[in-house]
Amino acid sequence: MKKGFVTIYVLLILLFLSVSIVFVSRQVQSKNDLSKDLLTKKKAVYEAESRVNIFENNYENEIKEYILEDYKRIIDESLSDVDHANAKEFYIDYNNSKKKIMLMRVIDPNIAPRKDKVYRVFEHIYYKNVIAEANIYLRARENILLSSEEILRYEDIKDELNKFEFKKDKTIHNEIPATSKEKPYKGVIILDRDTTIDKDLYVEGILIAKDRINTKGKKIRVTGLAAIDQNKENIEYVKDYGPIIDNILNKTDLIELEILSSHSF
């Protein structure tokens, strides 16, 4: 009887030890798996961050050109919060291969007010058994030629104007072309001297008047950019990004990029 009790007792101890060993072994394995997953996740996040940083640092002109083209679009006012539009794929050189990066216009009230034009550089990758994502949110700081909503005074911005090169095939000097509301002049008109307007003038582009304009009751309507030294009150003006951007060769100088935020997970 006593011998049987000892045998059962020993078996119970062995069972307990066996269960304990299995439990400890599984705990160690779980910790090892967790450590491996964390390391894999860390590598994946690093990979995603590296790619978006390379794009933001080395592809500035491509980003600016995309933003300027987006400026010319009319964004649907119904675009909801944390939504996006005009997504475009770009490819970067990374570790001897091409990697895809997404760039898009976004509205996210957590990043900036709805009225601001915000752009998201985005990378989403799968690495082994984990998913990683990296984001950079950008906003463009506009040169006064883009930011102004009113007719500009030539004397106030002539230094800024000198920084830009207008398309020669679309630029005329001291000449008033024949135009109409249906057929405006699409380009740049530069008036270096006192000018009298003897017919209605419609410009879809840029009008620069360095001296006085005598309209003699004729109509001047500018859609785009107007830099006038005198008699601004006689000019009908409509702000439009497109005719400004389309007539400047070094258009990427019209904006500077600002990082609003970045995050990855």
| pTM for the predicted model, two decimal places | 0.81
Enumerate residues 6+ apart whose C-beta is below 8 A from 253: 143, 163, 164
CA atoms of 172 and 169, how far apart (whole Å): 8
Map out the domains of the chain as residue ranges: 1-147+252-265, 165-249
Q: Which of 179-188, 231-240, 246-255 has the lowest mean pLDDT?
A: 231-240
Condensed to tens digits (0 to 9), the pLDDT of residues 62-114 reads 999 999 999 987 655 555 555 677 889 999 999 999 999 999 998 888 888 87
- The pLDDT of residue 208 is 96
Tokens at residue 215, please? 């309209």
Q: Which of 23-37, 105-119, 136-150 has the lowest mean pLDDT?
A: 23-37
Q: Which amino acid is at 187?
A: G
Condensed to tens digits (0 to 9), the pLDDT of residues 29-66 reads 555 544 567 888 888 889 999 999 999 999 999 999 99
Helix (H, G, I), strand (E, B) or coil at 223: strand
Q: Which amino acid is at 209?
A: A
Average pLDDT, the chain: 86
Residue 129 pLDDT grade (very low, low, confident, very high; cuts 50, 70, 90): confident
CA atoms of 124 and 100, how far apart (whole Å): 9
Q: Which amino acid is at 32?
A: N
CA atoms of 211 and 202, how far apart (whole Å): 19
- The pLDDT of residue 57 is 96
Q: How far is CA 144 from CA 36, 69, 135, 238, in A?
A: 52, 18, 29, 16
Residue 128 pLDDT grade (very low, low, confident, very high; cuts 50, 70, 90): confident
pLDDT above 90 for 18: no
CB atoms < 10 A from the CB of 174, how many? 10
Q: What is the DSSP-derived secondary structure letter of residue 98?
A: E
